[in-house]
Each structure stands twice: as structure tokens, then as C-alpha cells.
Amino acid sequence: MSLSDGYPGLPPQGMVDLHGHLLPGIDDGAKHLEQSLNMARQAVADGIVISVVTPHHLNGVYSNPARDVREHCDAFRGALREHGIPLEILPGNECHLVPELPEALAAGTALTVADRGRAVLVELPVHTVPLGATGILEEILAMGLQPVIAHPERNTELAADPELLGEWVDMGCLAQVTAQSCTGRFGPHVQRAARRMVCEGLVHVLASDAHRDSRRIPQLQPGREVVAQWASTEAARLLTEEFPRALAEGQLVNITLLRDALPVRSAGFVGWLRDRLRA
Ligand SMILES: [Fe+2]
């Protein structure tokens, strides 16, 4: 089942966080409802109006099939209303990139982004790109779904050489960088990789990937400011508002808008040197 008719009354303006573990007690995210509510308050304070909640699925540790996530999501939405917290919650999964994923999507047991049947948040292992990854992504694309690669800057292989990410983006995939990667929370290597991916136009979404109400919190604004410095305020707006909202609403992302929002890359040795010094 897909909620293709849409959710009535989505907030018309504000940032949209496409990746977060706010649902209590079902993965390595929020431990209990009180923490989930705190995280929701932090999101609202940051200017986030919609959070797609994305419990891990198919990663060999956590199994959170679609029906369960929808139920948890409804319960959490009720708790938010009860506590007067103005955050809209939509269901999703962070799906591990395994050979079984296309089948799970076809069967409706793995959730698409916001349950819209348009895009899928796909997670890689921390260090490697599994053999056959490109083939699985092609299978998902052939189903009419658009994979959104979760935090490629935190995958050791892609961070060292983003060329493969470029190939996936050329195939039709999108990519999501974590806001705290941009601010340096995961170290200088990850930060450099995030910068390169953003400036090369390989990133379409900035998300929090929040797990707690301390440290890894639902917050986009600091990362948004860094992206604005690296690229432009318009690029930062596209990555935190326009593109994630399109995905949360089940629309196509107009990636041509990103081209005009990115800095023109310097040519020649002087430009190369200038870019190196800036990095
Ligand atoms: Fe995550």
C-alpha cells in the first residue's frame, strides 16, 4: 500500500528532514518515547517541519517491516499532537543495500520514502561497497523507484573516490549527505568528502540521521550554513527544503535547479591550486 493520495495539511514551508531515527525503541535510535519527544522538539526548534522517520531495515540486526513502521508512526504522531509539538511525521525505512531489497520493495514489506512509492533511502556498509551494488540499484531503478544513497561521505570507499557515486547519480540515483558530516562531527576526512560531493553536484539532500536527543540530534541548520558557504545559499535551500520536500510528497526532484546553484569550478592549474587551498 502506498499513501499516494498524500497526507492532507502538510506544512507548506520549512525544512524537511528525510532521514532520522526518532521512533522509540525499534532500532538504534531513540530509546523511549520521552527521548523521541525531545528529538521532535529539537527538530521544531531548528526549523524542521516534516520528519521522515527511517528505522533500519534488512541490515542483519534490525527488521522493521512496513506495517510495523506505519503503526509506530501513527502512534508517535498521536503523541506529538497530545504534547502540542508541531512536527509532521511520515513513515520510511533506511533499507540496507542487499540482494533481497528489490523483492522486499516489490512485496511492499520495505517502505519507500514517506510511503509514496517514488524513492527509497538506501544504506551501504560503513567501509565497503558490496559487490553487485550497482546491479541492485539498477534493479530498483527498473522498478520505477529512485534510490537515495544515504550518507555516501561516511562510506570509506566512496569517500576516498566519489567517482562511483557519480556513476550512480548518472544512472538516476540521488544522494543524501548527513548535516553533521558537513560541520565536522565525523572528522576531517568525512567533512572533505562531503564538501567534494556537494560541490560536484552529487548531493541532493541534507538530512540529520538523528539517533538521540544529545549529540546526534535532529538538526539541519548548522550543516545548511556550511553548505551555503561551500556552494551557495540557494544550494543549501534546495538540499534542506525543496528537494527533500519533493521526495516527501512523492514528486520528482528537479535536479537541473542544482546546476545553477553550484559554484563554477575553476579551470587549469591555478584553479586546481585555489580549490586545494580552499579545501
Ligand atoms: Fe540512519
- Centre of ligand 1 to C-alpha 20, Å, is 6
Confidence of residue 60 (pLDDT cuts 50, 70, 90): confident
- Centre of ligand 1 to C-alpha 245, Å, is 18
Are 209 and 168 within 8 A, CB to CB? no
- Centre of ligand 1 to C-alpha 251, Å, is 22
pTM above 0.75, yes or no: yes
Weakest-pLDDT range from 109-113, 173-177, 178-182, 273-277: 273-277
pLDDT of residue 268: 53
- Centre of ligand 1 to C-alpha 64, Å, is 13
Q: What nine digits make up the cell of 116?
A: 509514496
Confidence of residue 19 (pLDDT cuts 50, 70, 90): very high
The string over 51-66, giving b where at least 16 C-beta atoms fall within 10 Å of a residue's C-beta and e elsewhere, is bbbbbbbbbeebebbb
- Centre of ligand 1 to C-alpha 25, Å, is 14
pLDDT of residue 157: 96
- Centre of ligand 1 to C-alpha 28, Å, is 9
- Centre of ligand 1 to C-alpha 232, Å, is 26
Mean pLDDT of the chain: 92
Q: What are 34-54's pLDDT values in tens digits? A: 999 999 999 999 999 999 999
- Centre of ligand 1 to C-alpha 156, Å, is 16
- Centre of ligand 1 to C-alpha 257, Å, is 27
Confidence of residue 265 (pLDDT cuts 50, 70, 90): low
- Centre of ligand 1 to C-alpha 267, Å, is 37
Are 226 and 183 within 8 A, CB to CB? yes
- Domains annotated for the chain, with CATH where assigned, are 15-278 (3.20.20.140)
pLDDT of residue 14: 94
- Centre of ligand 1 to C-alpha 198, Å, is 19
